[in-house]
Structures are given as C-alpha cells and as structure tokens.
Structure 1
C-alpha cells in the first residue's frame, strides 16, 4: 500500500515537518507499506492559476511528477499546522491543484499541529472545504498534536500525553490502511462515474 504523507508547513525546520517525518519513519517500518513524503517547505509548488489546464511547462515540471505519485497512492496523511486558526495557504493551494484523478475516493487522515492547546480549526476547515471536487474521503478519526514541541521527539515518549498520542497514532494508521484496502475495492467496482459527474455539488 502506498501512503502519501504531506508536510503542510512552508516554514523551515517546522514542527509539522518533525511530526510528518516521525510518521514517515513509522510507516517505513511496516511490511507492505510504501510511503511517499511530500514536503511543502519553502513553497515548492506555484500558486494555482488557469495555465494548469493548458499543461504549461512550469506545471509539467513541478506538478507533473507529484501528480503521478498522488495518482498511484492508496491513502493520504495530511500533517497541517494551525496558523491564526486556519490552514496554511500552501495546503489550500495543494488542494486547488488536485482533482479526483489524484485523490478521488481515497481515504485520508488529518493530523493537525499546535504549539499550544489549539489545533481543532484546521480539522473543521479541511473537512468542510477540501473534498468537493477532489472526492477525497476523510476517515472519521483524526489526530490533534497539541504542545507539539514536547511530542514525538524520539524513540521514547517523554510524557503520558506523548505516550497516548503515539498509541492513538498507531490506531489511526491501522484504521487508515483498512480504509485504503476497502476503498481500493470500491474504485475497482465500476460504481464511480467521474465522467458523468466530474465535479461535486
């Protein structure tokens, strides 16, 4: 199973990147799982504009290889920080670039990041606004990593909260993979019709 992990922070040496790399390493230890790590640090993707529909050269070079990786992915993990109660612009731009070809009817786990006791707003925002045309399927579970500087810092938990989050992450990853197997069967069943209904309502 191929799982894409997105580091949704454009900041250098971000806590989101730390958590995303922790998850990536954990998945690489599991048999039968092939992670693809997509890092939005330093904003590697151009901002969306209509030239993407014309296959302009910049899109062929920058987005083409990523698009191919996403299309062959079975599931997704979006590690997203909360900036002023919002999802960062790099993440919103990513979803504008995606369509059902990359994400359609594939499960995703939301992991949000907060340096304090916040982190819930990005969960609500992603569930509300990022699935319409992509047809992405967010699983019911999500993970909020509060006080992130104190979490996922090594092989051994530093506190009971850290230990709990690691156990919860393990559960979420097992669940995501189960959804990935089930949704693969759904996509192969022929019931999905993106030709007649290319966009959501």
Structure 2
C-alpha cells in the first residue's frame, strides 16, 4: 500500500504532526505500507484556491503538479484534522478544493480528529459531510479521535487510555490496508467514469 498522510494543521511542528509521525511509525512496524509519506499543510501551506486553477494557470500547475503526482500514486490516505473553534482548519478545507481530476477518487481514507482537550468529533462530522463531493475521496466508517493530544502518543504510554488508543490505531490502520486492496479492485474494474460524471450531486 502506498499511503499519504495529510496533516491538516496550519501550525508548523504541530501536535497533529506528532500524530502523523506516530501513525507512520505504526504503519512501518506492522509492515502495512510499502511507501508512506506525510503532506504537512503547516510546513508547506497552499495558497487559497481560485478559479484560475481550472484555466490551467501555470503558477498553480507548478505548485500542484508534484503534490498531484503523490496523490495519484497513493492507494489510500489518512486525513488528520485538529479542531479549531469546533471546525476543520481553513488550510485543510482549502486543500480539498484543489483536486478534481481523480487524484483522490475512489480511494479509502481514515479520518483522525485531534483535540487539545476532550473535543475532536466536530472535524470528523464536517469532513464526512462536505469534503468529498467532487474529489470522490471515500472515508472509512471507522475513524480515530485523539483527545488530550499532548499527553498521548509520546515516547512511552501514559496510561490505560493511551494504551487503548494505540491498540485502536493499529486496528484502524490494518483495516485501512484491507480497504485499500478492495478499492484497488474497484478502480481497476473499468466502471468508474470521471469524464462523464466529473462532479458529484
């Protein structure tokens, strides 16, 4: 499985990036991914979407082409969203506006909400509701919420909740690997037609 972890925090060296690195370590430890990379929107922010993307603006092409290639080659994704004021960060919502040429289409994704306290559920609901329509990313029913993020997923488990979260992470990543195999067969079936049905309803 070739997997891209999309870290949606707008801050460099964020707690969400800590979660992304932990997930990548677990993927490697379980030998679930032959290739895994992190796309960190805090370290490499994208400019705000504008309609010139649709007209082939050369500046946008230069910016987006390397990322598009990574996304096209991926079999699955992990999408990590911190909770900002009960919402998905603007950088992550902006990211999903960029991809309408099948880069994410019909590929499974594991959603991960991140909260500094006891929140984290709102970004999951928001992304499930509105981030998939035209790019066709396919969120798994399973998701993760990392609460009190500063206290968990550090070098050593901090207690029962942390240990339970680590086990659930391993389970969710294993499940994502199986979804990746199944969706690969769907994409190879020939039934997907993104030229006729470019946009969702």
2:15 is matched with which residue? 15
Unaligned 5+ segments in structure 2 are none
**TM-score using structure 2 length:** 0.95
Displacement of 1:17: 0.9
Report Cα offsets for 1:111-164 as digits up to 9, x if no partner.
Answer: 01001111100000000001111111100000000010111011x311111100
1:163 is matched with which residue? 163
The alignment partner of 2:112 has SS state of: strand
Alpha carbons 1:107, 1:136 under 8 Å: kept: yes
Report Cα offsets for 1:77-97 as digits up to 9, x if no partner.
Answer: 011100000000000000000
> Following superposition of structure 1 onto structure 2, how do residues 5-154 of structure 1 map, counting pairs within 5 Å?
5-29=5-29, 30=31, 32-42=33-43, 44-154=45-155
**TM-score using structure 1 length:** 0.95
Root-mean-square deviation over aligned CA pairs: 1.2
CA–CA separation in structure 1 for the residues paired with 2:43 and 2:33: 31
Structure-2 change in CA distance of 1:130 and 1:193 (3 Å): same
Unaligned 5+ segments in structure 1 are none
The alignment partner of 1:115 has SS state of: coil
Structure 1 segments, 4+ long, off by >3 Å, are none
